[in-house]
Structure 1
Amino acid sequence: MSSFDPTRRRLLGGLGAILALTGCGFAPVYSDGRAATSLLGNVAVDSLPGREGFILRERLRERLGGVPIGQPRYRISTTYSVSSAGLNISQSASITRFNLTGVAEFSFRDAVTGDVIFTESVQAVSAYSTTGSAFAAEVAERDAQERLALTIADRIASRVALAAEALPQ
């Protein structure tokens, strides 16, 4: 029988992970003194069509510090598309599982001059099942579309925050 209990082992493992991260120079991207903090509340996000576009835009606003007060310093323009592919075909020849693939191409611009600072593309996949009723399948599809839009927005916000180090101050 071991005298080293699992709770203590997890605590020491977590402490070790924290020490390892601080030793490698890890710091939160939005901590004081980091370039990404200058983005908070300074990025306007252009409108996108449709329900998923609204979800994507609102998540981007949330991640980038909300709606700018006054003249924003930067602007994000995004195009967003979703494609669907059937994955699982049942014995009755009906498709019971779908993958949604979302692709967003975005441009990060200087809001005053309109100059493009950088352009990138992000992609994500979300899946849903249609084995239940027609209503359940529709709800599952809408949920997958929402998860996809949120994931895409999070990836865009992460790319922008990482690129903030290279932005002119």
Structure 2
Amino acid sequence: MMPGGRRLLLALAGTVLLSGCGFTPLYGEAGVSGALSRIAVTTPDGRLGYRLREQLEDAFGRDGAQAPLYRLATEVEHKRRPLGRR
């Protein structure tokens, strides 16, 4: 095996082993889930706005237990366009 190929194989094996053991960097961020759960989503009234807000709050992990630090204001525009032949 070539020396460059061996190095690549060792790097790949090390990456796989470190990802399996739960390795986290010493000075790394803990993650963004705490900040995402503190985003309040504002949507327009109506069914589409309600569904958008529910999807975003579910994706962000918002439970309403903590006061929001951030506010995300959205607007919804709905256009219909025929997809088939007339």
TM-score interval, normalised by the smaller of the two chains: 0.5 to 0.7
Q: Which runs of 5+ in 1 are unaligned?
A: 1-18, 27-31, 95-169
Q: How many residues align?
A: 63
The residue identity in structure 2 corresponding to 1:39 is A
1:63 corresponds, among 59, 62, 70, to 59
Name the structure 1 match of 2:50: 54
- TM-score (norm. length: structure 2): 0.57
Give the superposed CA RMSD. 2.7
Larger radius of gyration: 2
Q: Percent identity?
A: 30
Does structure 1 residue 33 correspond to structure 2 residue 30? Answer: yes
How far is the alpha carbon of 1:41 from its aligned partner? Answer: 2.3
TM-aligned CA distance change 1:38 to 1:72, over 3 Å: same
- What pairs up with 1:147-162 in 2 under 5 angstroms? none
Higher relative contact order at CA 8 Å, sep ≥6: structure 1 or structure 2?
Answer: 2
Say which SS state the counterpart of residue 76 (structure 1) adopts: strand
Q: Which segments of structure 1 move beyond 4 Å, counting only runs of 4 or more?
A: none
Q: Which runs of 5+ in 2 are unaligned?
A: 1-11, 20-28
